[in-house]
Chain A
Amino acid sequence: MTSHELLPLAVLASSLLPGLIIFALPEAWIGVRTFLNLFAAIAKLGLVALLLAGVAAGEEYGVRYAVLPGLELALKADALGMLFITLSAILWLFTTLYAIGYLEGAPHRSRFFGFFSLCVTATMGIAMAANLFTFFIFYELLTLSTFPLVVHRGTDKAMKGGTIYLAYTLIGGTALLAGIVWLHHLLGHTEFAHAGIAAALGPEYAGQLKIIFLLLIAGVGVKAAIVPLHGWLPQAMVAPAPVSALLHAVAVVKAGAFGIVRIVYEVYGVEFAQSLDLLYPLAIFAAVTILWGSFRALFQDDLKKRLAYSTVSQVSYIVLGVALFGPIGTIGGLVHLVHQGIMKITLFFCAGNFAETLGIHKVSEMDGAGRRMPLTTLAFSIGALGMMGAPLTAGAVSKAWLMDGATAARMDWAIWVLWTSSLLNAAYFLPILWRAWLRPVPAAWPEEHIARRGWRETALLLLLPPLFTAAATLTAGMLADSEATPLAWARLIAEREYIGQGRP
């Protein structure tokens, strides 16, 4: 095996093997488990950095082997996959740190971190899948490995959330499988390729290809929480905060959005998808989701539920970017894949901090929280402003590119959708900030678990991760035009998808 084959496998193994070992660790071996967790996260980052440097230099990484005759498990590291991998690897490190702090003293940590590692392994597999068959394997593995995390607390409420989550994702998975086998039957393979593979079939297959597209998009649309397939996401809020971070930023909804990107660009190809009139309906669905998610968020008093509806809305920015036919919209969508992740993880870390430190779970309990926990509230504010698309944040960059993309695609209504969503974002985020910063401190917090020690308003492992990701939100916004940012990488991908084919 050459290093070009080994590196993608090593990226998978760097979380799979530690995960399997962690399952076997006795509960009390906290030190060993923490070491393994952090070692794995850092080792993965190192491996991803190597891979990223290679891909940037034009190297090709990949490995494949036959599961059945004619059916291959295939991995490759390309520019698009690396965008997702890098995001997940970085956020995984922060989420791991946060989870270690969050779960201190909680039961079943070996099980938790074991499935946590499997989850990230599945995400890496989704990002590196070189065909739909492989994509599906890791996609379902992600469903299975997140279920125990969602129901981790073992309460009836957790079970309900977990069951709803599985009902949606397994039915979605079935639609996805149907579409994949159908396509495999027509084409004899399902390899991802620039400009897509479906165009190879003659025009007489247009009808079938449209149905397959519907099946595939419905399948991944469940995880991407496209309305009306989004019902599981607010229910899954019963999960512990690090799991919510995982669902909303690192793995699950991202896997769905990423799947849509792969299917549109590398299975159908944008040009071909456009010629089949598939992109316009997709854009409509994305727009409806953006508005509906923001609208529903307005009425949620539960903080995490409000954030969940916000995710429903924001993830469809990515879908909208993909559906806007043209390179600029593509860049906007792809860069938002990263930016939404950084901003949303910040918000969930902070929500977890409010809950763990002061027992605050509701927006109506947020009064004065900024005085007691200024750093957390600052991070939260940055994330929230980013979501609104305020200047200097990562969200502003996404929104600008998406709007330019809409103009370029002559879909002016999309600009209005984005503006309306921004207003709605402001309408549900600003009251939280106002309460936290400007309202007086209440006589007593709902349930204070962690006392303040000097400048440390909460446990250090809970405090640092959101501060880092909030800083990243600002950095990605202010330095967007420099090299080595998500934006630069998204432009590289868009170049390869559109211009690389010689058809700007």
Chain B
Amino acid sequence: MSMSEPLFDPLAWLILLPLAWATLAFVLGPGRGAWPAIAGLATQCWLALDLAQKVGAGGTAAHVVGGWGAPLGIDLAVDGLSAAMLLLTQAVALPLAIYARSYFKPGDPAGTWFWPLTGFLIAGLNALFVSADLFNLYVTLELVGLAAVGLVAAGGGAQQVAAALRYLFATLVGSGAYLLGVALIYGAYGTVSIATLLPLVTDDAPRLAWIAGGLMVAGLMLKTALFPFHFWLPPAHGGAPAPVSALLSALVVKASFYLILRLWLGPLQAVLPAFAWLMALLGAAAIFWGSWQAIRAVKLKRLIAYSTVAQLGYLFLIFPLLAAPGAIHAGVMQVFAHGLAKAGMFAAAGVLIKATGQDTVAGLAGAVERLPVTMFAFGLAGMTLMGLPPSSGFLAKWQIIEAALAQGHWIIAAVVLAGGLLAAVYVLRVLRQAFLMAPASATLAPVPRTLEWSAFALAAASVLLGLRGVELMQLPGAVT
């Protein structure tokens, strides 16, 4: 653990800023607060980039403890993994905020509390990525979960409320299991600090530690919607307004994955690897089941939501491979690839639904002709999800396959390759429909250009990252 230059400020600000603009938006009233949010997110982007550069340049561990004081007792720590997650969160949220400002028309009931809830969501995510003890992680996890449920419910329709309740149930059970695990750990070791636990939990840990680890991971798997715990995701992500779907699919599910990885590499590294193949097995099942459901989906957003189920599966394939350094790099690359691409794809879907007035794949005929920028965005995001070069999804797959071959686990490589082909089937289902000639009767509602171009920016970023991944890959090297 080395104290480097004072990084305290950006860390605290990454949490305080979104809280500040969320509060401001709440005070300003329903539907207001877009501009403060955009300004705040732009600043956060800059802070996260600056932080990532410093951590990346630090090479090894850049572990910073901000003694933020006894009353709150919050320790903030950042290493390469958290810096990467912070960067992704701000980089995805900023274009989505610009998108959402145009998406929610004044007076749109779905957008009433979008800005305050998004602010709390982002604050929760940022806090989660820099929290250094298990209990604080629980608090941030709840904050994220509740804000996310609120965002899903904000749509107001009966279906949305039903989806939100399901989601609420899943998220509460998930964090409950996690909390139980934390309590057991505290009972066994008398601390919840990650750094303190690290040397304490060893191979001969008591059975209690195993149960605790199992509970925590199971709860987090539920929150990550890993197959077969994915039941809540498609209705929630498919039913929410497009900017919300994008935030949830791109960022929120990654937070609980991040936490699993954090526990795996950190305090519970003596316990959790026993579950490695179970994780990979469920990951593979997620890829096949999610893709299959996406191939069959009638609704466009349902298709994209099932694609998230499938893409999350790749993240769990890395667990048996973590002995090789390449695996964690692959994981981070996949988190970025999916985060950017899925945000772009949901944003594009939002445009298509607004324009065609319906959320179906079949209604897309003529979209290539009428909405070329949006379909381009959809295609680029699809390229990343299929893992075709030159996209970040391709680099992620390359890294997983290589790590798998290096350890002789060719079956994982085969799953990754097959998954790419399945993704191609559902992505092309959409593109193929969109390339068809529009029926003469079809009319498209005009769509603000900001919507089209912010979707495009996200999708293009997911592809461009595939041309230059060196800098990003310095970050996971700096994991403590």
A residues in contact (CB < 8 Å) with B: 23, 66-69, 71, 73, 107-108, 111, 136-137, 140-141, 144, 148, 151, 154-156, 159, 162-163, 166, 170-171, 173-174, 177-178, 181-182, 184-185
Contacts and interface: CB of A to CB of B under 8 A. Distances in A.
Given A136-B389, A148-B435, A174 B398 contact: no
B399 interface: yes
A461 B368 CA distance: 29
9 contacts: A66-B470, A67-B390, A67-B468, A71-B398, A163-B428, A166-B428, A177-B398, A177-B401, A181-B398
Given A171-B421, A177-B401, 8 more contacts: A67-B469, A71-B398, A140-B389, A144-B383, A154-B437, A162-B432, A162-B435, A185-B402
Given A67-B467, A137-B390, A159-B435, A185 B405 contact: yes
Nearest to A110: B372
A177 B417 contact: yes
B198 interface: no
B421 A170 contact: yes
B395 interface: yes
A163 B402 contact: no
A162 B301 CA distance: 25
Q: 7 closest pairs, A vs B, by CB?
A: A137-B389, A185-B405, A154-B437, A181-B401, A68-B469, A137-B390, A140-B389
A154 B432 CA distance: 9
A185 to B, nearest CB: 4
A181 B383 CA distance: 19
A67 B401 contact: no
Nearest to B403: A185
Contacts of A182: 405
B420 interface: yes
B406 interface: yes
A67 B466 contact: yes
Interface string B342-372: 0000000000000000000000000011001
B470 A185 contact: no
A154 B365 CA distance: 10
A296 B186 CA distance: 75
Contacts of B467: 67, 73
Nearest to A155: B437
Given A137-B389, A154-B435, A178 B413 contact: yes
Contacts of A67: 390, 395, 466-470
Interface string B451-480: 000000000000000111110010000000
Contact of A174 (B372, B399, B421, B468): B421
Interface of B: 329, 368-369, 372, 376, 383, 386, 388-390, 394-395, 398-399, 401-402, 405-406, 413, 417, 420-421, 424, 428, 432, 435-437, 466-470, 473
Given A154-B436, A154-B437, A177-B417, A141 B405 contact: no
A108 B437 CA distance: 12
A181 B399 CA distance: 9
Interface centre among B395, B398, B467, B473 (most CB of A within 10 A): B398
Interface centre among B389, B428, B470 (most CB of A within 10 A): B389
Nearest to B376: A23
Contacts of B468: 67
Given A68-B470, A171-B421, A178-B417, A159 B406 contact: no
Contacts of A156: 436
B428 A174 contact: no
Nearest to B372: A111
Interface centre among A73, A107, A141, A185 (most CB of B within 10 A): A185
A260 to B, nearest CB: 20
B417 A68 contact: no
B402 A184 contact: yes
Contacts of B376: 23
A155 to B, nearest CB: 7
A297 B247 CA distance: 54
A141 B389 contact: yes
Interface centre among B376, B424, B435, B470 (most CB of A within 10 A): B435
Contact of B413 (A107, A148, A162, A181): A181
Contacts of A178: 401, 413, 417
A346 to B, nearest CB: 30
Given A69-B470, A182-B405, A151 B435 contact: yes
A155 B406 CA distance: 46
Contacts of B436: 154, 156, 159
Contacts of A166: 424, 428
Interface centre among A66, A159, A173 (most CB of B within 10 A): A173
Nearest to B369: A108
Contacts of B432: 151, 159, 162-163
Contacts of A151: 432, 435
A181 B405 CA distance: 8
Contacts of A154: 368-369, 435-437
A178 B401 CA distance: 8
Nearest to A143: B388
Contacts of B470: 66-69
B402 A174 contact: no
Contact of A68 (B421, B428, B473): B473
A165 B344 CA distance: 27
Given A69-B470, A141-B389, A185 B406 contact: yes
A68 B477 CA distance: 13
A141 B467 CA distance: 13
Contacts of B421: 170-171, 174
A141 B473 CA distance: 24
A174 B383 CA distance: 14
Nearest to A181: B401
A170 to B, nearest CB: 5
A352 B402 CA distance: 46
Contacts of A181: 398, 401-402, 405, 413
A141 to B, nearest CB: 7
A143 B346 CA distance: 25
A148 B399 CA distance: 29
Contacts of B405: 181-182, 185
Contacts of B369: 107-108, 154
A159 B368 CA distance: 13
Nearest to B399: A68
A68 B473 CA distance: 7
Contact of A140 (B388, B399, B428, B473): B388
A184 B413 CA distance: 14
Contacts of B420: 174
Contacts of A111: 368, 372
Contacts of A140: 388-389
Contacts of A69: 470, 473
A454 to B, nearest CB: 38
Nearest to B387: A177
A151 B473 CA distance: 38
Nearest to B420: A174
Contacts of B413: 178, 181
Contacts of B469: 67-68
Contacts of B428: 163, 166
Contacts of B394: 137
Nearest to A185: B405
A67 B413 CA distance: 21
A171 B388 CA distance: 12
B108 to A, nearest CB: 31
A141 B463 CA distance: 12
Contacts of A155: 437
Contacts of A144: 383, 388
B293 to A, nearest CB: 20
Nearest to A111: B372
B406 to A, nearest CB: 6
Given A66-B470, A178-B413, A181-B401, A141 B390 contact: yes
Nearest to A138: B389
A174 B406 CA distance: 19
